[in-house]
Amino acid sequence: LDGKEGPLGEKEDPDIAALWRQVKALQIAFLQYKKVELFPHGRVVGQKVFKAAGFQKPFQEAQQVCAQAGGQLPSPRSEAENHALQQLVQVEDKGNAFLSMTFSKVEGRFTYPGGESLVYTNWAPWEPNNDGGNEHCVEIFTNGKWNDRPCGDKRLVICEF
Ligand code: 293
Ligand code: CA
């Protein structure tokens, strides 16, 4: 080997070697860009990115904010995803945040925006309790637990990308 090999060890011409140097430079630059971009309002979990908007909105406006940005409200599908969201709620210090899921009167249960059943839940004790008969949205507390809540209440906006 003479240093002119790509990642598969094959010999390459100088143009290809220059391209590889450029790929490596871009990888380093992108790692730096990700760190800057995610500090302090973003979290990466697997393929998912959560980012706090930094303000509160009622559910429908929060949905629009995330859709306008090319994302959606957060659907934590695992303990790891829920923990990342919990961290953002703690860091932002702007109260509890909305999740994406809503109560479907047709299905008689909470569903994701696409209508599927939940694959993961982290309800606080005795929740969801539909207090007052109008709690069709979901908030996540600073302790990571979930509570059903009226959709008209204003909560911190976090988006999922
Ligand atoms: C009731 C009982 C409380 C509970 C609350 C929330 C409202 O007031 O213990 O915290 O409902 O579930 O969403
Ligand atoms: Ca409740």
pLDDT for position 157: 99
**Cβ count within 10 A of residue 20:** 14
Q: Where are the beta strands (DSSP E) in 17-154?
A: 42-45, 48-57, 97-98, 102-104, 109-111, 137-140, 146-149
* 69: CB partners within 8 A, 6+ apart: 159, 161
pLDDT for position 3: 58
The pLDDT mean for the chain works out to 95
Distance of CA 49 to the CA centre of its chain: 5
pLDDT for position 13: 87
Mutate to test the pocket of ligand 1, among 110, 134, 145, 147 (most ligand atoms within 8 A of CB): 147
Is the beta carbon of 127 within 6 A of some atom in ligand 1?
A: yes
Q: Cis (ω within 30 of 0) for the bond into 128?
A: yes
How far does the centroid of ligand 1 lie from the alpha carbon of residue 130, in Å?
8
Tell me: pLDDT of 10 over 90.
Answer: no
Is the beta carbon of 147 within 6 A of some atom in ligand 1?
A: yes
Is the beta carbon of 129 within 6 A of some atom in ligand 1?
A: yes
Gap between the Cα atoms of 95 and 88, Å rounded? 11
Gap between the Cα atoms of 82 and 45, Å rounded? 10
pLDDT for position 93: 98
pLDDT for position 11: 66
- Closest Cα to atom 9, ligand 1: which residue? 126
Tell me: pLDDT of 63 over 80.
Answer: yes
Mutate to test the pocket of ligand 1, among 126, 136, 153 (most ligand atoms within 8 A of CB): 126
> Tens digits of per-residue pLDDT, 65-85?
999 999 999 999 999 999 999
> Tens digits of per-residue pLDDT, 90-110?
999 999 999 999 999 999 999
> Tens digits of per-residue pLDDT, 117-137?
999 999 999 999 999 999 999
Q: How confident is the model at residue 32 (pLDDT cuts 50, 70, 90)?
A: very high
The answer to whether 72 touches 66, Cβ cutoff 8 Å, is: yes
- Closest Cα to atom 7, ligand 1: which residue? 131
For 41-78, b/e burial (b = at least 16 CB within 10 A) is ebbebeebbbbbbeebbbbeebbebbeeeebbbbbbee
pLDDT for position 151: 99
